[in-house]
Amino acid sequence: MVKIWIVLLGLLLGGPAFAMDCYLNNEGGPVDFTTTVDPFAVPSNAQAGQKIWESSDFNITVYCTHNYADNQEKENIYAWVDPYGSSSDPYYQLGVTYNGADYDAIGAPVGLDSGVCIDNNTFANHPPQPEQKDKLCSGSPSSLTFAASMPARFRLYVKLKSMPPPGYVTTLSSDFTVVQFDGKGGINTMADAKNLKYRVNGLNNIRVLDCGATLSIFPPDQVVDFGAFSSKDVQAQPLQRDFTVKANKLQDATCSDGFKMTAEFYTDAPLLGDRQAIDLQNGLMLQILEQEQPLTFNTYTDFADFTGGNMSWERRYQARISPAPGGNIQPGPFSSTVIFKVSYY
């Protein structure tokens, strides 16, 4: 009898102890969200280093729980920008704006500490001892946090490295993971990971134009001045000032493409409720209106259409100051900066 010994070897991979689960809105909510971006275009007068396209803001609520970090450690929620690396293109640079700061996608994840802390889940069944206070978010065994929600605001952008030739087809992948929410140890790549990912697709739909447009604003100094007024004045009636933005299509022999433009009023100032008013932090709020309808800040909408015979396009807006809900009006000077941005398609 011949006996053959078969030795079966295996290795069960424990892997790193990934720190937490993160969902959209609440526990059990989506952990993988995808949105499609519309096609966009590069105007002929774009400059190297300039953003040629941005998405509108994504404003979401992230809910994280189940911190099982090693050594019973507390853990902060991290936003990992460009977690899986993006495809490259010789003419275009992808990037992410997170909470107002820009991060070019360089092929490696960038971890951003939210400062929102979650205590280790092991303490839910085995209360911490006084000598373990350094492991706790609050430093007190009587005040533990096993779940937390936080707002996140981000957008995707494309910068121009150099002008591509007419008809150029981008090498950017259609799909891009903008951000993943996880712990400080890095991204959980397991198939069953419960870590909220926000993805976009459609990034390969870029058209190179042989044309563009110039913008002008009235008043020419781009300052909307409300002058001096009393709290009684603004409480009796909102104060309103008009201004205009005009786009002129370039007129030269090479300009043959038709195109449309979208625009937004962008601010990093705190916004109220439905993001249609800036909180001026003095009991007043600022709105931008078109035809008496308030516009949503940090959101692109249609602005101009140069696909027909029009060579110029003008929009009239109103800036309105009024009391903020529940605000206590404070006397003194105030100012707010709003950026008018456009994209082509």
Task: Check whether 1 has a pLDDT greater than 60.
Answer: no
pLDDT 10s digits, 99-131? 999 999 988 999 999 999 999 999 999 999 999
- Structural domains in the chain, sorted by start: 21-208 (2.60.40), 213-344 (2.60.40.1090)
Rounded distance, CA 232 to CA 298, Å? 31
pLDDT 10s digits, 54-77? 999 999 999 999 999 989 999 999
Rounded distance, CA 76 to CA 185, Å? 10
| pLDDT of 2 | 34
Name the average pLDDT for the chain: 92
pLDDT 10s digits, 91-106? 999 999 999 999 999 8
Rounded distance, CA 86 to CA 83, Å? 9
In which residue are the tokens 């720190």 written? 19
18 pLDDT tier (thresholds 50, 70, 90) = low
> Is residue 197 within 8 Å of residue 152, measured between CB atoms?
no
Q: What is the pTM of this model?
A: 0.86
Rounded distance, CA 116 to CA 274, Å? 24
**What average pLDDT does the segment 226-232 reach?**
93
